[in-house]
Amino acid sequence: MNTKETPHIKPNGVEIAETVLLPGDPLRAKFIAETFLENAQCFNEVRGMLGYTGTYKGKKISVMGTGMGAPSMGIYSWELINVFGVKNLIRIGTCGAMQENIDLYDVIFGMGTATDSNFGQQFNLPGQFPLTASFELLEKAKKVADEKGQKVHIGNILSSDVFYSADPTAIKKWQDMGILSVEMESVSLYWNAIQARVNALCILTVSDHLITGQQTTPEERQTAFTKMMEIALELA
């Protein structure tokens, strides 16, 4: 029985698996548990950040919301890694496309993340550090996508602290550097995973397009992004 708890995660005896899927929206975690997992049990309800553990094709797996932004992801991922022993953390989130060859609902694997966040300053490194995904998870995810015939984009993404930017030129500068998309959580996930020597990967579905202005609805963001969910579940 799991007797550990933190101020933000109280499993009440429910085990947290070594592989955890991390959507930002806790309702997306609930949807995944109810749709894909067998014998799912809720392990967290603190602050409404729902978490569940169940099985997928006989393998134990957990799913939990992380909220919005690097600080929230930073708290939950640190506790999952350092208190509950999670070894594989897979963010399944939404993003805004930043290149013309990417469409709504396309799937992106964040091979590396650029950032405007100060999250990494706490490590006091004497220089810049490359924030990259686990090659083990990235390689497996690409193999799963290929087996499913699912086209994916693989490359660098931007993890930004700013949702509504006051600088209209900022996006263009990142686009010119080949950044595929922008989201808000991968920076703290990758930092925490790298520091603890565990695996992390950011799998994203395009929910809106920064060039064309296209966007999906909140309801679609909760339930329609099943391609990335199925890829992530196979990594268990």
207 annotated as a binding-site residue:
yes
219 annotated as a binding-site residue:
no
Per the annotation, the verdict on 208 as an active-site residue is yes
67 annotated as a binding-site residue:
no
The DSSP element (H or E) to which 71 belongs, if any, is: helix 70-82
Query: Where does residue 141 fall: left (phi above 0), alpha (psi -120 to 50 degrees), or beta otherwise?
Result: alpha
188 annotated as a binding-site residue:
no
Options 103, 161, 167, 208, the catalytic residue: 208
Place of tokens 């509950």: 84
Contact between 85 and 19 under an 8 Å Cβ cutoff? The reply is: no
79 annotated as a binding-site residue:
no
185 annotated as a binding-site residue:
yes
Torsion, Cα of 108, 111, 113, 114 (10° steps) = -100
92 annotated as a binding-site residue:
yes
Burial of 111 (0-12, 13-18, 19+ CB in 10 A): middle
147 annotated as a binding-site residue:
no
208 annotated as a binding-site residue:
yes
Angle between helices 226-234 and 26-36 (to 10 degrees): 70
Annotated binding site: 8, 24, 28, 47, 91-94, 183-185, 207-208
Annotated binding site for a purine D-ribonucleoside: 8, 183-185, 207-208
Active site residue ranges: 208
Annotated binding site for phosphate: 24, 28, 47, 91-94
